[in-house]
Structure 1
Amino acid sequence: MSSSTSSFKKTLSLSLIGFVGVILAVELVCRGLGFLPLVWFGKYPVEWRIVFDRAKNSLKNDKPVVAFVGDSRVEWVVDSGLMPSMNKSFDIYTLAYPGASVRPILRELLHRDFAPPVLVIGYSHLSLYWSKVPFFPAEKVKIEDRFNSKIDLFLTDHLFTYSPSLFRRGLGGERSWMASRSIARNGRASMQYQIAHDAAVQEQRNWYKTMYEKPMPADQIRAINDDLLKLVLEFKKRGSKVMLVRMPVDDWVIDLETKHDPVTFEALTKLLDVPGLDLNKNLDRKKITYFDGLHTSIESAPYVNQSIAEFLQENVH
């Protein structure tokens, strides 16, 4: 072996060691300063598409498919594993997306020719009226993409330095609410908080204050409702039984939503001509706890899913 080749390998080895050392030092320093990786609030677009593909393939099976859509209030709670009575007869999937408007999700399902026998739409002010979170699911997911995405998203969730954009946001003082997340095969996002409860509640209160700062014009509300009605009618035309569910929220959220209601839950179910379940009225509220006022806690999820299962059994024939 020539001395030049040996020198090159030595230089390369030292460079790699130095690179890894710099990354390790940055990770340790950032964590020492209180920075953490910015764990996402639910499914990434590629993960949504993977769950969607499972749901669509399930249409070929004997058991009818039940698909839930909406935002994180649905995504973090609805779990087929907590509905044993329904699992025997249905394949249940959670195709909700964090922070997203439900109407683009519905359009995506129609575009993909997916009209499940039962479609349950999650109602929230954010998801139906105020959300501006973009929803762009992956166009197509190959086998190698599934493997690569697991590695990529694992590194994104666990390394502060892996994603340049998250690195810059973290250096700017942004902190992650989440310590970890996992996505079940049926689409439920299991989230573990690291932000203090009181701090989370205060941030959500601030967000609600911003959301309601400027009243939504009546013609805009009417246009949104008309668009939603057209989408629901198209699903009905394709054979879907459509329902509306309002997930439980804390008292202060109910007070604000009631004060700023674009349209009441009851009025919307009447407009869409669909069965509706308002879990804020159908449950013993003393039995439910929340992460931040908006999201049902892990401990309360079985109770909430049991009520959803009973509602489905009453309305699916």
Structure 2
Amino acid sequence: MAHGTASSMTRAERFTRSLVAMVTGEMPTFSFEFFPPKDDAAVEQLWEAIRRLEKVSPSFVSITYGAGGTTRDRTIRLTERVLQETSLTPMAHLTCVGHSVTELRRVVGNYAAAGVRNILALRGDPQGGLGQPWVAHPQGLDHADALVHLIKDLGDFTVGVAAFPDGHPESRSTLQDVEILIRKEQRGAEFAITQMVFDVDNYLRLRDELARRGSRLPVIPAIMPITNARQVIRMAELAGQPMPVAVTDRLARHGGDPEGVRQEGLAIATESARRLLDEGAPGIHFITMNRSSATLEVFGNL
């Protein structure tokens, strides 16, 4: 875990306790995901959300990493700022896309220099977008398990990975997804965070198959409170995981009523999160879209 100041040690200890709680099922963790802002107005909105969400003392917050490393520098700066200016424990994302091994080592070194010791290791989507063939950098890495190994080899880092309850877009079956997760675990991954969960049964099938195979990898389901149906449906399609008809039908009942859609979206998120926790999920990872109100409402419902 982290080294250095007393405050960073405290956060490191907090994250260690969260990790232990995830593995043992002692208590659920709650975490939030942000993305690097693109302009000054977005910076202000993000920091307002961070300050409001900080008050509920999440186990950690994660900072995403743009496709092809497009937000690399902003991700590093934001992660460092969260560490320096808040009481939150940041976890930085890192992808293989468009990076040589030398560049990946440099990014990990930059995180370490900033005091960040928690990294989510991802292969990342093809640079041309989903549906395009994956092409690794000529001097890069081809799979997330290799990135996990690289990070663990560089120092004392806590490494998480991605999980796909609805199936990875390039996967042949749930069994293949399970095998890949186990491979990541064997290379040093200590937990996984899923893509957005809209079908709880799919999450449970993935989790139970992992357990049947002897895996102890905690898999944290990600929930995104729906406040704009069109936006979330589009995001799900881009991620290669179309939303279940049961969800889209509930949203469609409200037609062009934005507040009705928002309330239904919050109800769906609350119901899913409650069931996940009742079924023993190790925590909930909220995708915030850099806003706090909807996330805080669902968190409060729980």
TM-score by length of 2: 0.33
TM-score by length of 1: 0.32
Q: Name the structure, 1 or 2, with higher relative contact order (CA <8 Å, separation 6+).
A: 1
**Which protein is bigger by CA-based radius of gyration?**
1
